[in-house]
Amino acid sequence: MKDLRGRGNNVLHIGLDDVDSPDGMCTTFLGALLARRLAEAGYEFLDYPYLVRLNPNIPFKTRGNGSVSLHVRIGRDDLEAVEELVRSYIERLAERHGKTDATAVLVVGSTEPLYEVYKRALVELISPSAVRRLLKAVGARVVGGHKRGVVGAAASVGAYPLRSYTYELLLYRPLIIKERLRGLDDEVKELDRLLRPYIFANVDYAANRVLATPHGPDPVVAGIRSVNPLLLSALAPRLCEAWGALMAIIYKSNQATGQHLTLLKSVTDVRPYDSVVIRGRVASGPMVIRGGHVIFSLEDSTARMECAAYRETGYLARAARKLKRGDLIEVGGGVRVRKKGLTLNVEYLRVLRPLPSVELKNPLCPRCGRRMKSAGRGKGFKCPNCGYRERGLKKEVYFTPPLLEPGTYLQSPSAYRHLSPPREALGLRSIPAPPLPNLFLYPPVHKPFKISKR
């Protein structure tokens, strides 16, 4: 019998995507089952399993545009057996839904050729055929991947090794339970009050909304995010028991890193569905429209673009109301296609140089101190009180300080995208931890057993 325990020198990266649909399942759940199976078979993990979020503005995502990748050391002859295992998991577990395109890619060796796919998939809409060609060129094996699943699966491999990351503990219930309400609001709030900011993005107190529990028919009971994987390891058994979950996994993730808003473009280069940053002066607005949404336009040296800070963005929309024409700002967000053109849905606003308000007023009367009136074009000013007239007086210039201070204005927690850096975690740094399966999987993995070739 072949012993597979960490003997191999080859590095295998497995990327997964698009196994779920609005009716259920979740790519992270399949990733968790596969990670457990590989750990039980004794494979050595090179890093925690990855939950990689991609461009949140692409139109065909099911929920949070998440993909998963696993990174293990394998023996020279193991590739076939692992590929077969991945295929069988996908065949058994992926949702059968017209929209779903369950895909796995298996890449042996360096992930570097796929780094570009990851970087671009974070910020743009990219073509599956270009990704397919690249996968072929690097000799990757592809399971499924008939439509666009290859994009996310390849990008999640290309993300390895993640340089900027956080962690998420995901708790799961059995697949057959489809109840949408998780009924854990009080429990999540209590945990958040105890452990924030070491856990974050759990609750929006102002909106009285719990963010850590989903609302769909998927198997996720809750997801707790943190910069400290060991804290999450300690929480896993307690939360599984208290919140009725069967198993848990801790993913390393690019969530909360702001990596999707790193590409600065000129307005003319902005494309539909980009996640993008633009910089320029406020050219019109802000205008508050029905529903409390704030619309303004930003102009750089190339063109002008409409920007929208929706009411749901809370703090951000309130800050956007205070912008003034001429303020120099930077905004980051997602590009939507509307009938009249492209609009940037703003996710953050950075005020670079706010302009003071300038007001011109008639001078005060030098004789009685009352405000004077114009005496007619080119005739200077006259005092309505004492009748004093003077041709040589000039209007006075009054500066009122800007309403917005220079700095960054973020959305309220309810509007966070998975990739948005949450206010409460700003300044925290994630700590590294050894990728031991018993740290990232619960229940613990006991007996290694062999994956047989079928």
Yes or no: say if 334 and 347 are a contact pair by the CB < 8 Å rule. Answer: yes
Rounded Cα distance, 357 and 401, in Å: 7
Residue number with the shortest CB distance to ligand ATP? 152
Q: Choose, by CB under 6 A, the member of 17, 78, 192, 347 that binds ligand ATP.
A: 17
Q: Choose, by CB under 6 A, the member of 7, 63, 97, 132 that binds ligand ATP.
A: 63
For the bound state, the minimum distance from the C-beta of residue 97 to ligand ATP, rounded and expressed in Å, comes to 9
Which segment (15-23, 315-323, 332-340, 406-414) binds ligand ATP by CB under 6 A?
15-23
Report the amino acid identity of residue 337: V
Q: How many CB atoms lie within 10 A of CB 170?
A: 25
For the bound state, the minimum distance from the C-beta of residue 330 to ligand ATP, rounded and expressed in Å, comes to 23
For the bound state, the minimum distance from the C-beta of residue 277 to ligand ATP, rounded and expressed in Å, comes to 17
Report the amino acid identity of residue 147: K
What burial letters (b/e) apply to 28-44, b meaning 16+ CB within 10 Å? bbbbbbbbbbbbbbbbb
For the bound state, the minimum distance from the C-beta of residue 68 to ligand ATP, rounded and expressed in Å, comes to 8
Q: Does 276 bind ligand ATP (CB under 6 A)?
A: no
Which segment (40-48, 61-69, 236-244, 360-368) binds ligand ATP by CB under 6 A?
61-69
Given the complex with ligand ATP, which of 66 and 285 has the nearer CB atom? 66
For the bound state, the minimum distance from the C-beta of residue 214 to ligand ATP, rounded and expressed in Å, comes to 9
Query: Whose CA is closest to 255, among 159, 116, 184, 182?
Result: 159
Given the complex with ligand ATP, which of 8 and 31 has the nearer CB atom? 31
For the bound state, the minimum distance from the C-beta of residue 85 to ligand ATP, rounded and expressed in Å, comes to 20
Q: Choose, by CB under 6 A, the member of 61, 87, 321, 371 that binds ligand ATP.
A: 61
For the bound state, the minimum distance from the C-beta of residue 60 to ligand ATP, rounded and expressed in Å, comes to 5
Given the complex with ligand ATP, which of 27 and 233 has the nearer CB atom? 27
Q: Does 54 bind ligand ATP (CB under 6 A)?
A: yes
Using CB under 6 A as the binding rule, the residues of this chain from 140 to 199 that contact ligand ATP are 148-149, 151-152
> Could you tell me how many helices (H) and strands (E) the chain has, helices first?
9, 24
Q: Does 417 bind ligand ATP (CB under 6 A)?
A: no
Rounded Cα distance, 102 and 18, in Å: 5
Enumerate the H helices of 94-184 as residue ranges.
Answer: 115-123, 128-137, 149-158
For the bound state, the minimum distance from the C-beta of residue 129 to ligand ATP, rounded and expressed in Å, comes to 11
Yes or no: say if 313 and 415 are a contact pair by the CB < 8 Å rule. Answer: yes
Q: Does 95 bind ligand ATP (CB under 6 A)?
A: no
Query: Whose CA is closest to 258, among 151, 194, 353, 350?
Result: 350
By rule CB under 6 A, what count of residues binds ligand ATP?
24
Q: Choose, by CB under 6 A, the member of 35, 55, 201, 224 that binds ligand ATP.
A: 55
Cross-strand bridge partners of residue 398: 359
Calculate the alpha carbon distances from 111 to 55, 154, 162, 252, 358 in Å. Answer: 20, 9, 11, 17, 56
For the bound state, the minimum distance from the C-beta of residue 39 to ligand ATP, rounded and expressed in Å, comes to 22
Q: Does 73 bind ligand ATP (CB under 6 A)?
A: no
For the bound state, the minimum distance from the C-beta of residue 21 to ligand ATP, rounded and expressed in Å, comes to 7
Q: Does 26 bind ligand ATP (CB under 6 A)?
A: yes
Strands 381-382 and 373-374: antiparallel
Contacts of 193 by beta carbon, 8 Å cutoff, 6+ apart: none
Cross-strand bridge partners of residue 308: 295, 345
Q: Does 62 bind ligand ATP (CB under 6 A)?
A: yes
Q: How many CB atoms lie within 10 A of CB 413?
A: 22
Enumerate the H helices of 2-110 as residue ranges.
Answer: 27-40, 79-93
Which segment (36-44, 55-63, 249-257, 296-304) binds ligand ATP by CB under 6 A?
55-63
Strands 341-353 and 304-309: parallel
Tokens linked to 189: 């709030």
* Contact set with ligand ATP (CB under 6 A): 17-18, 20, 26-27, 54-55, 58, 60-66, 101, 121, 124-126, 148-149, 151-152
